[in-house]
Structure 1
Amino acid sequence: MKKLIQHKNYTGFNGYYQLVLPLNLEMLIPEDDSVRLLSQILEGLNYTKLYKAYSSTGRKPAVDPKTMFKIITYANSNNIYSSRKIETACKRDINYMWLLQGESKPDHSTIARFRKDYLPEAIEDLFYQMVQHLHSIGEVKFENLFVDGTKIEANANRYTFVWKKVVNKNEAKMFEKIKACLVDINQSYLTNFSVSKDSILADLEQVLKYLKDKQKEDNIEFVHGIGKRKTQVQKFTEQLKEFKERQEKYNAHNRLFEGRNSYSKTDTDATFMHMKDDHMRNAQLKPAYNVQIGVESEYVTGVGVFQDRNDIATLIPFLKSMESNLGRCYENIIADSGYESEENYLYLEEKQQQSYIKPQTYKIWKKKSFKKDISKRENMKYDEDKDEYTCHNGKQLKMSGTTHRKSATGYRSEISIYECEDCSNCPYKSKCTKAQGNRKMQVSKTFVKKRQKSYENILTEKGILLRVNRSIQVEGAFGVLKSDYNFKRFLTRGRTSVKTEFMLLCFGYNINKLHSKIQNDRCGKELHEIKAC
């Protein structure tokens, strides 16, 4: 039987199909398709920084960088994040072909290289240009900023953790072993070597140099293998070399911690955090990033990626980044209780921004059990002129001194210490304090004052409206990004690449949000009104 030859070109099989007009893709794209809006907005951006990322002497890019940015942004707006899936879409989807405008279709490696090597240089500038465009068309007014954060899993193995506590513990144990080893060396060779924690590597290097000279002086040959007897010089040398290697390893770990308590070996920028959507539902720690966004009028107007597990330390750098990129500050900052701190309150006051931050004790204050608790400062009478509190028994708690407390960010707050004049024979002492002597109480006057002001702000009619909108807008944005867009884990590694990836996602989200508002005649609506019960 004659063997048939299979050809790689399949066009010969299509003899029954006739070429049909139109060939122009413009006629196939609906007039109200979001791809037209995306192209129009991105066409108006300034791509100077993106073009500068390319070498002026290198080969011409296969696809124009501006066109490539349009392709990737449109892919993110349609929940396509893989470079291989984007490549397939460029070959089969008419919307992507329309964006290419006859340019050659990029392969997956070109897309991945563009996203990793070139886009990080310009993505932040392009994102905030998009925010300025929303401002120019009246969608964003830089008035109310709703801030929130979420933890998104990093592209790292779950069991590659390095813990700072374990590293410090092992480093301390090794330091004691080094001191014991140097004592033996000093006794053996009548030397006076010592070691300090600040110059441990230099001290070890000095001792190793002495042992090397001793080896040459005594003409000692180091031996290896079973049945060979090692000299004392060789034993000391090998032991100190091992200590030196371990210390270099510990130093590398400490440099990577950067104020954190852990990091992942797979992605050293990722920190191990408790995840809400843990697959085993046992609060398992996973390598993740703390992603912060600021939302106004349902658009994401600010993005920050942090390594801190809590939100308190992220607010100030996040707002500073937004101010630097936008050239202006928001009037009102609305956030939940996770952002409350004296440092944050003072920063907002300095920038003349109104704080609508819910106090951490907001829910507790409403409980009857709290209002009946005589040990709480809030339930004591305070005389501002005399600067003293009056307890349930009518005794005065007067200021006896001050101390200072330092936060994780380095901020020092002043704490006033109040002590009761006499707690002896008090019938309420068991309910007021567990102290053996007089009741003592530590109060940060500045924090109490700023917390009260923010508390009063959120109780106003405007404050209630903003708090309701915070839960709708910023938490709603995260809900769409994580559930509707199915973005629950980063594809890239490293803080820079992760930030680029998330900004692209928010870029696509903003385009879709504007498209939705235009089609549903909702443009210009900033806040959701409170529905009457």
Structure 2
Amino acid sequence: MSFIKRVSRDQVLLLPDCLDDYVDENNKVRFIDEFVNGLDLSECGFTYPKERLDGRGRPAYDPADLLKLFIYGYSYGIRSGRKLERACKVNLEVIWLMGKLKPDFKTICDFRRINRNAFKKASAQFTLLCNKLKLISGDFIAVDGTSIKAVNNISKSWTKNKLNSALKKYEKEVEKYLGQLEELDEAPSPNREEKQNKLKSSLVKNQEKSQELKKLKQKLDTTDKNSICYNDPESRPLKKGRKSTVGYNVQHAVDDKNYLIIAAEVTSESCDLGSLYPTIKAASDVIKEVKGANLLADKGYFSNEDIKACEDDGYQSYIPEKGCPMEGKGFYGKPEFIYNEYNNTYTCPAGQILQKYQNKKKDCKTYWIYKSPEACVNCSRKDKCTNSKSRSIQRWEHEHVLENVRERMKAKPNIMKRRSAIVEHPFGTIKRHILTGGYNMIGIESAQAETSLAQLTYNLNRVLNIVNFSEIMSFLKGRKSFWQKHVQNHLLMSSYINTKAIKMLIRQKNQVNSLIILV
């Protein structure tokens, strides 16, 4: 049976291959190269290396080249400095992108660490490019959060409750070993000395661990934090459903047209409450056109202040309200009570009028209390309303804002399915293919840098799947300059090409020039 014959490794090539021939015209690396070349890196905050004044020493690497390397690496889930170093030597696409540069892993990692605050602006520049290509509609913006693991372990993270339970456990162990030592003293056995040594060793270990936890508890009591993490002190224990991890809460604002991420913010908050307005504000800072969009979020974002701030900025919020505590007890919920704006009263399910009773301030917010004790005494539906003497209704001073949200939710009951379809897609892609296994760097600023790189590469991959490659490349550079550069690169290789090939290039150049004239 015959097979395709491979080229011999010791065969001498008289005409070396051109590096540009190994990369397809529609390859992603060509787009990455053109995009980064068009960025003003100093405006984004990337630091340019300063050569020594005496002229000695090796020149530093261009930040543009290292940024291209990171964009390529994160787009394929390659984030380790050593793996990126190896890719510069064995990956033909990376060799083309880097122009045969081979930085070592320390240079690569130092660039990411030093410029960690600049990646966010570079990602914002790509989002603006998507907006210019009209890939972002700004009609519906979905906001949601997810937890991404930090460089930490759940066993190296301590909360107050976890510390107290661990201290009780070790104290019980110490008491147990002390009791067993006393029993050995009272009832000697043949292996008494050996057993005593084992018990004393275990006793010392538990006592040392108990003392260590006591010091940790004292340190935690002196701070306003609820937890302490060894490896990454800025990370927090996060629990969603039955899963627990130590990491960061990442908030995303995603557009509904092509599921492109407009903003990605890293927080150390353990829940999503209070993160709605800051996230949408970060999105509007990047793209001003999203102001006034329809805002979609789940019930974990239902915060009075956040919703009012979004409504004041012109956003139309669609957020389901959390269940009423009274409904959980089997009583009438607040929606069963109808508010009369003209009389400033509430009508209960039994038809009784609840008058404004008093004002109440809670968490710097003013509430009005409505009740009618006389009507509740002989009410036939009291057993379905309350188990107290009378039922009272609490109304926020800006309750009309929340009522508008409730009316919108009633008009579009299936809107939450659309929200999950918009925002869950980026989460799954990023956590599965880009930030696999969590973050590689320590600190919230470094986590933000990796999140921004993940946002940029996710958007980049989406755009290349949506838009025709030649069209988006034409947007980045003129067709004329592209052909001129293409011809020039081939002519530079003329010293390595025989006369027949040179004549072919000349004919190609003449054809290109005629095409340029026609354009």
Check if 1:155 corresponds to 2:156.
Answer: no
Check if 1:454 corresponds to 2:451.
Answer: no
| Partners of 1:392 and 1:165 in 2: CA distance | 43
- Give the CA deviation at 1:17: 2.8
SS, match of residue 159 in structure 1: helix
TM-score (norm 2): 0.70
- Give the CA deviation at 1:76: 0.5
What do you get for the CA RMSD once the two structures are aligned?
3.5
* CA shift in 2, pair 1:161/1:17, >3 Å: same
Check if 1:274 corresponds to 2:239.
Answer: yes
SS, match of residue 150 in structure 1: strand
- Give the CA deviation at 1:433: 0.8
Check if 1:28 corresponds to 2:22.
Answer: yes
Report the equivalent of 1:320. Answer: 281
Contact 1:398 1:421 in 2 (8 A): no
* CA shift in 2, pair 1:138/1:375, >3 Å: closer
Please point out which of 433, 447, 455 is paired with 1:506.
455
| Partners of 1:34 and 1:65 in 2: CA distance | 20
Please point out which of 248, 251, 256 is paired with 1:289.
248
Q: Which runs of 5+ in 2 are unaligned?
A: 1-7, 166-210, 473-519
Q: Deviations over 1:291-344 (max 9, x none)?
A: 011112311110100011111211222233334444565321222222121111
| Partners of 1:275 and 1:356 in 2: CA distance | 22
5 Å matches for 1:99-178? 99-102=97-100, 104-117=101-114, 119-163=115-159
Check if 1:18 corresponds to 2:12.
Answer: yes
* CA shift in 2, pair 1:141/1:420, >3 Å: same
- Give the CA deviation at 1:29: 1.0
TM-score (norm 1): 0.69
AA of the residue aligned to 2:231: T
* CA shift in 2, pair 1:514/1:94, >3 Å: same
Check if 1:475 corresponds to 2:424.
Answer: yes
Q: Deviations over 1:189-218 (max 9, x none)?
A: xxxxxxxxxxxxxxxxxxxxxxxxxxxxxx
AA of the residue aligned to 1:26: D
* CA shift in 2, pair 1:53/1:358, >3 Å: same
SS, match of residue 312 in structure 1: coil
AA of the residue aligned to 1:151: S
Please point out which of 351, 365, 370 is paired with 2:313.
351
Contact 1:374 1:380 in 2 (8 A): no
* CA shift in 2, pair 1:522/1:336, >3 Å: farther
| Partners of 2:466 and 2:357 in 1: CA distance | 60
Q: Deviations over 1:348-399 (max 9, x none)?
A: 12212222323335xx99xxx9799662221234332222223344433222
AA of the residue aligned to 1:500: A
Check if 1:68 corresponds to 2:66.
Answer: yes
* CA shift in 2, pair 1:249/1:378, >3 Å: closer
- Give the CA deviation at 1:439: 2.1
5 Å matches for 1:80-479? 80-102=78-100, 104-117=101-114, 119-163=115-159, 250=219, 254=223, 257=225, 261-276=226-241, 283=242, 285-296=244-255, 297-326=258-287, 329-332=290-293, 333-361=295-323, 375-406=332-363, 412-422=364-374, 423-435=376-388, 437-447=389-399, 449-458=400-409, 460=411, 467-479=416-428
* CA shift in 2, pair 1:455/1:42, >3 Å: farther
Contact 1:269 1:495 in 2 (8 A): yes
Report the equivalent of 1:223. Answer: none
Aligned length: 410
- Give the CA deviation at 1:404: 1.8
* CA shift in 2, pair 1:419/1:137, >3 Å: same
| Partners of 1:501 and 1:86 in 2: CA distance | 15
| Partners of 2:422 and 2:291 in 1: CA distance | 16
* Percentage of identical aligned residues: 25
* CA shift in 2, pair 1:95/1:125, >3 Å: same
SS, match of residue 427 in structure 1: coil
